[in-house]
A and B are shown apart, each in its own frame.
Chain A
C-alpha cells in the first residue's frame, strides 16, 4: 500500500475538515493532489502536528479535524497519545502513515521497523478506537468512518517507504500559516446564517473608536 494512494482515496472527504499534516513526503503528496486552504503543512516541529490538531479540536468542537502524521513524528512525542486519549475530542481523527522509516531525511529505519507498534501504543494510551490497516480498501473504510464518526480515532496505515520525486511546494510556510485560519473562518461564515442587513435609514455608527487611533 502506498501513502499517495491512501491520500488520493480520502482526498474528497477532507474538503470541509481542518487538516494538519507533518513535513516532508506527507505534505508534498497531499499538496500534489491539489492544495486547499484548509490544509496546514507543519514543516518543522516534529511531533507537534497532533498537538496542533488537539488545539483546533478543542477551540472548534463542531469542526472535523484530521491530523495526518507519520511514525517518525509520533515516536518523537509519544506523550501526545495519552493527551489525545485523555480529552478524546470526538471531532479529531489521527491518521498515522507508518513506513517504518525517516524517509524524507534518507530512509533511516525507525523503531516501528523493529517491532514497536503505534496502533497498540495508541490503544495502550487509552484511545479506544485504534486500528492498524495494511490494505487500501481497509484504510479507506476505516479513515472515512473515523472522520464521519463522533469519536476520537487513530488509524495507523502501514505503507511502503516510497515518496515523491521532489519536495518543492510553491507555497511559503507563512502564506500557508495565514491562509489556514482564514479558510476556517470563511468555512464558518459560509455555514452560518447570513448576518441581518443593516437598515440604512436608522444607521448608527458601529463603534465610537476612530478608525485609525494613531
Chain B
C-alpha cells in the first residue's frame, strides 16, 4: 500500500528512439490505474520502468516515500503479473508462489502460511502440488496472481494479464482481479490494449498514444469528455463517429449542407471535427442518414451508413422493425463533441 509518483518519467532507447515522452502522474493509495493505448504507444515500457526492468532515462519515480529509480526490481516492493504468466515450469504451484519469499530469506513456516492464505483466496489449494503445465490458462493466471499476492507488495503491476485467455474467461478474471485488488487494497498499475478492460477495471485511466499521455481521467470522464479525437476514437465500442465540419462561431456547426446547433460555443473558428457517440444518436429527427448495413448485436443493432457522405454509425435498440435506407436521425446538441480540425484537441 503506497502512493506512486511519476514525475517527468521518459524513456529514450540507445538508438535514439523515444518510447515515452516525459510523463507525470500520481497513483493514489489503493487505486487501480489502467494504462491503455494501441500497441507501440509506450504503455508497457512505462510499466516496465516502474517495475525496474527498464532503465528510466529521465525523471523521478517514487513508490511510497522512496525514490526507486536506481533500485533493483526485487528491492522496489512490487509484484508483477505477466501476459504469458511467466511461471517457473519446473516448480510446483506452491513453490512458484514461495520462490520470491524464499529468496528474501523468510522462514519456512511463514512462507507456508502465506502461500496457504493466497491459495485459499484464489481457490488454488488443491493445485499446490501441481505443475503449471497441468493447469488451465485461467488457473495459471491465478497462480501468477498468487505469486504477486504472497509478496504483499506496495504495488501490483499487471502487463496485459488477460490477453492470453479466451473471451469468457477474460470477463471472469477481470472481475476476480478487480475484486481481489479492492479487497487487498493494494495500489495497482494495469496495462492493456483492450478499452473494455480499461473502462471496467480502472479507477482512473491513462490513455497513451505515441509515447505521450493523451488523457488521464476516470472512465466516465474519458467517455463523456474525451480530450482528443484519438481518445474519442480509441475508447468506446463502437468508436465515436468523427466527421469533418466547419464552425463559424455563431453556435452552429456546418457539415456539408447541414447545420447543427451546438450546446456551448467554442473559441476556435474554422475547420473542426464533430464527434457523436453511436449510442447518442437516435432514429427520427431532422438529420438525413443513408443506411448501408445493419449489424445485429441482439439487444442492440449497429446501423452503418452515411451523413452527407461521411461514414456514420448508430447504435440503436433492436426493435426488430425493418428499416428503410433513407432515415432521419436526431443528434441532441448536448451530445456533440467538438475537436480542433488540425490538432484534434477537444474544444
Whether chain B is bound by chain A comes out as no
Binding site for A on B (CB under 8 A): none
